[in-house]
C-alpha cells in the first residue's frame, strides 16, 4: 500500500498509488474515501498500477472552501492528479456511484485519456427536482446534524440482504471521519449534476457496467439500461451484493475487472 500526497494548485490530495503497467483509477462514492478500494486493489495491483485518490474534501485531501463542488470539478481534479503523478498513458477509470457520476464527466471532457470505463452502482440520470431539493436541504443541515445522522440514514440502503456486520461497521467508521464541509459541498454538486444519459451512446471506448444484485439506490434494471445505451459494453451483476458491491464482494468485483482488462489489453 503506498499513500502519496500530491499538490494541485496549492491544494493537497491524498492518493493510494501502487503496482505497475496499465493504469486503473478508482473513484470512491459518497460520503467515503479511497480506503473502500483497499480490498479490491489488493487483488489487482500485481498486474495494474492502481491509483485511488481521496476526492477533494474527503479522506485526507484538502477541504474545499467552495459551498459546491461539481462533478466536473472533481473530474478536472482527476486529470490534474494524473498529470502530477506522471501518468501520460490512457487509463481505465472505475467509479462507484458518485465516483461514477464523476467518471462520466471525465469521459465527456477527456475521452482521449480513456482506454476503458467501469461504471459501478451508479446512475446516468440527474436528480429529480425533489431529490435535488432534499440533497441541498441535507447539505445545509449537515453542520447541525453531523455525520452520524447521515450515516444512520444512508447505511440501511448500502448493503445486500445479509450484510457482513464488520463491513457495515467499517463503512460507518469511514463515513464518520469525513469532513462535514467536503461532504456538504459534494452533496450540493450531486444535486446540480446534469443528466448524462445521452452521452452514453457517444462512448467510443469499451465499458463495463457492474451492479450489486440487491442495489437499492441504482438497481440492476436501471444499470442494465445504462449498458444498453453504450455500444461496446458488458454488464455484470455481483451476486448477493448491494450498492457497495466492491466492498461486499471485492474478489468477485476484481475478477470482473480482470476479465475486462484481459479483453482490453490482451486481444
Ligand atoms: C454514493 O454511493 O456515492 C451515493 O449513493 C450517490 C448518491 O447519493 O447519489
Q: Which percentage of the chain shows pLDDT scores above 90?
A: 92
Q: Is the separation of the CB atoms in 91 and 114 below 8 Å? A: yes
Q: Which atom of ligand 1 is nearest to the CA of 217?
A: 5
Band (1; pLDDT cuts 50, 70, 90): low
Is the CB of 98 inside a 6 Å radius of any atom of ligand 1?
yes
Cell of 27: 473513484
Alpha carbon of 195 to ligand 1 centroid (Å): 15
Mutate which of 184, 190, 212 for ligand 1 pocket (most atoms within 8 A of beta carbon): 190
CATH architecture of 2-265: 3-Layer(aba) Sandwich (3.40)
Instruction: Give CA–CA dist 39/50, Å, rounded.
Output: 12
Is the CB of 101 inside a 6 Å radius of any atom of ligand 1?
no
| Exposed / middle / buried, residue 34 (Cβ in 10 Å: 0-12, 13-18, 19+) | buried
For residue 157, count other CB atoms closer than 10 A to its CB: 12
- Does the global pTM surpass 0.85? yes
Which whole number is the average pLDDT over 11-24? 87
Q: Is the separation of the CB atoms in 218 and 125 below 8 Å? A: no
Is the CB of 190 inside a 6 Å radius of any atom of ligand 1?
yes
Q: Where would I find the beta strands (DSSP E) of the chain?
A: 3-8, 11-19, 23-27, 49-53, 91-96, 114-120, 207-212, 233-238
Q: Which percentage of the chain shows pLDDT scores above 70?
A: 99
Which whole number is the average pLDDT over 213-233? 98
Q: Is the pLDDT of residue 114 over 90?
A: yes
Which whole number is the average pLDDT over 207-222? 98
Cell of 208: 463495463
Is the CB of 226 inside a 6 Å radius of any atom of ligand 1?
no
Q: Is the pLDDT of residue 267 over 70?
A: no
Is the CB of 106 inside a 6 Å radius of any atom of ligand 1?
no
Average pLDDT, the chain: 96
Instruction: Give CA–CA dist 99/25, Å, rounded.
Output: 10
Alpha carbon of 96 to ligand 1 centroid (Å): 8
Is the CB of 29 inside a 6 Å radius of any atom of ligand 1?
yes
Give the tens place of pLDDT for each residue, 238-254: 999 999 999 999 999 99
Q: Which atom of ligand 1 is nearest to the CA of 97?
A: 3
Amino acid at each position: 500500500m503506498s499513500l502519496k500526497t500530491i499538490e494541485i494548485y496549492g491544494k493537497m490530495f491524498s492518493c493510494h498509488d501502487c503496482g505497475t503497467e496499465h493504469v486503473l483509477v478508482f473513484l470512491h462514492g459518497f460520503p467515503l474515501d479511497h480506503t473502500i478500494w483497499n480490498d479490491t486493489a489488493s487483488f489487482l495491483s500485481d498486474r495494474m498500477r492502481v491509483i485511488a485518490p481521496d476526492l477533494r474534501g474527503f479522506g485526507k485531501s484538502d477541504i474545499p472552501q467552495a459551498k459546491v463542488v461539481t462533478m466536473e470539478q472533481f473530474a478536472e481534479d482527476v486529470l490534474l492528479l494524473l498529470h502530477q503523478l506522471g501518468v501520460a498513458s490512457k487509463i481505465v477509470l472505475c467509479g462507484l456511484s458518485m465516483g461514477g457520476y464523476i467518471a462520466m464527466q471525465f469521459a465527456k471532457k477527456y475521452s482521449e485519456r480513456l482506454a476503458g470505463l467501469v461504471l459501478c452502482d451508479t446512475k446516468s440520470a440527474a436528480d429529480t427536482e425533489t431529490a435535488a431539493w432534499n440533497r441541498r436541504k441535507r447539505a445545509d443541515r449537515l453542520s447541525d446534524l453531523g455525520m452520524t445522522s447521515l450515516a444512520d440514514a444512508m447505511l440501511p440502503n448500502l448493503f445486500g440482504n445479509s450484510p457482513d456486520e464488520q463491513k457495515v461497521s467499517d463503512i460507518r467508521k469511514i463515513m464518520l471521519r469525513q469532513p462535514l464541509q467536503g461532504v456538504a459541498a459534494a452533496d450540493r454538486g450531486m444535486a446540480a449534476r446534469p443528466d448524462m444519459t445521452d452521452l452514453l451512446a457517444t462512448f467510443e471506448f469499451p465499458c463495463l457496467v457492474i451492479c450489486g444484485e440487491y442495489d437499492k439506490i441504482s438497481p440492476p434494471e436501471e444499470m442494465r439500461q445504462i449498458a444498453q445505451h453504450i455500444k461496446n459494453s458488458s454488464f455484470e451483476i455481483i451476486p448477493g451484493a448491494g450498492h457497495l458491491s466492491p466492498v461486499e464482494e471485492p474478489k468477485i468485483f476484481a475478477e470482473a475487472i480482470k476479465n475486462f482488462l484481459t479483453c482490453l489489453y490482451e486481444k
